[in-house]
C-alpha cells in the first residue's frame, strides 16, 4: 500500500538527504533539522544547528500570504514550548499559521511540494480558542470562567473521576468551576506518578492489533 501511495504523492524516497538542511511532514507546522548524528542521513553539523534554526525561524516569520499579510503567527524552538526527558524527540521548530485559511497539513510523507495549503471545507479542525462546558452536581451554575488553559482540562477530569492528579502534570484543577460543597466533599489528591514512562520490549497480540484496526476503521482513519 505504501509503495502505491508513493507513486502518487511525494515521499521520503524522493528526498536527496545529502542536500537537505531541514524537512517537514506537514502535520500543522513541525520542522526537523537534518542533523548529523541524529538523523539517519544527517547533513547539518551539530555546530551549525542553532544557526540553521535561527535562519529558518527568520525566514518563516517573513513569509506573506497573497494579500501581503504575515502567513505565520508564531514560530517556536522546541525548548520554548516543551520540556521533560523526551524533549530531544520533539520537532526542532513548531510554527502556527496566522489564521486557519492556510495551513501546513500532511497525513502521508508529503502530500504536496507546496509549503502551505489553502484550507477548504474543513468541517472540524484545531483552533487556538475552544469552549469548556461543565454540567452536573460538581459545577457552579451560570459561572463564567473567563479564559482558562487547555492544560487545566486533564487534571480537572482526573479529579472529577476520583483519581489522583500527578504532581508533575502541567495545568491545574479548574477550582473556580466547582461548587464549595463538592470541593469540601471531594478533596483533591495528588501523587508522584511517572508521566512519561514507556513500555519496553512489549508487542501487541494479534487480537489487540485487530481491535486497534477496528477502532481506526470506525472513526474513518483506515
Last residue within a domain, chosen from 78, 93, 118: 118
Does 190 lie in the same domain as 90?
Answer: no
CATH code (residue 105): 3.30.1360
In a domain, 61, yes or no: yes
What does the DSSP assignment read for 10-58?
--GGG--GGG-SEE---TTTEEEE-BTTTSTT--B-GGGHHHHHHHHHH
User: Would you state the pLDDT for residue 7?
Assistant: 59
Our count of domains for the chain comes to 2
Which residues have a Cβ under 8 Å from the Cβ of 102 and sit 6 or more positions away?
A: 65, 71, 116, 117, 118, 119
Count how many Cα atoms sit within 13 Å of the Cα of residue 76 in the half-sphere of its side chain: 15
In a domain, 142, yes or no: yes
Containing domain of residue 79, as a range? 2-118
Does 79 lie in the same domain as 26?
Answer: yes
Does 55 lie in the same domain as 76?
Answer: yes
Last residue within a domain, chosen from 75, 92, 118: 118
Is the alpha carbon torsion for 40, 43, 45, 49 positive or negative? Answer: negative
In a domain, 11, yes or no: yes
User: Would you state the pLDDT for residue 126?
Assistant: 65
Q: Taking a C-beta distance cutoff of 8 angstroms, is the pair 33, 52 a contact?
A: yes
Per-residue confidence in pLDDT tens, the chain, 222 aa: 555 555 555 666 778 899 999 988 656 788 999 999 999 999 999 999 999 999 999 999 999 888 888 888 899 999 999 888 889 989 999 998 887 777 776 554 555 566 677 776 665 666 678 889 999 999 999 989 999 999 999 999 999 999 999 998 889 999 999 999 999 999 999 998 776 555 555 678 889 888 998 888 888 777
Amino acid at each position: 500500500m505504501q509503495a502505491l501511495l508513493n507513486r502518487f504523492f511525494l515521499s521520503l524516497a524522493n528526498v536527496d538527504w545529502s542536500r537537505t538542511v531541514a524537512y517537514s511532514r506537514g502535520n500543522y507546522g513541525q520542522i526537523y533539522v537534518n542533523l548529523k548524528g541524529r538523523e539517519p542521513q544527517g547533513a547539518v553539523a551539530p555546530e551549525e544547528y542553532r544557526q540553521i534554526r535561527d535562519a529558518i525561524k527568520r525566514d518563516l516569520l517573513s513569509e506573506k500570504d497573497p494579500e501581503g499579510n504575515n502567513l505565520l503567527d508564531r514560530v517556536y524552538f522546541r525548548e520554548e514550548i516543551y520540556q521533560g526527558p523526551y524533549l530531544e524527540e520533539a520537532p526542532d521548530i513548531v510554527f502556527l499559521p496566522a489564521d486557519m485559511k492556510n495551513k501546513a497539513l500532511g497525513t502521508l510523507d508529503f502530500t504536496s511540494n507546496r509549503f502551505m495549503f489553502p484550507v477548504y471545507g474543513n468541517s472540524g479542525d484545531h483552533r487556538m480558542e475552544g469552549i469548556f462546558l461543565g454540567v452536573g452536581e460538581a459545577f457552579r451554575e451560570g459561572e463564567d470562567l473567563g479564559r482558562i488553559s487547555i492544560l487545566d482540562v486533564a487534571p480537572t477530569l482526573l479529579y472529577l473521576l476520583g483519581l489522583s492528579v500527578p504532581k508533575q502534570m502541567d495545568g491545574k484543577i479548574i477550582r473556580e468551576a466547582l461548587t464549595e460543597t463538592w470541593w469540601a466533599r471531594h478533596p483533591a489528591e495528588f501523587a508522584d506518578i511517572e508521566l512519561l514512562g514507556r513500555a519496553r520490549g512489549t508487542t501487541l497480540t494479534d487480537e489487540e492489533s485487530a481491535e486497534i484496526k477496528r477502532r481506526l476503521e470506525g472513526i474513518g482513519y483506515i
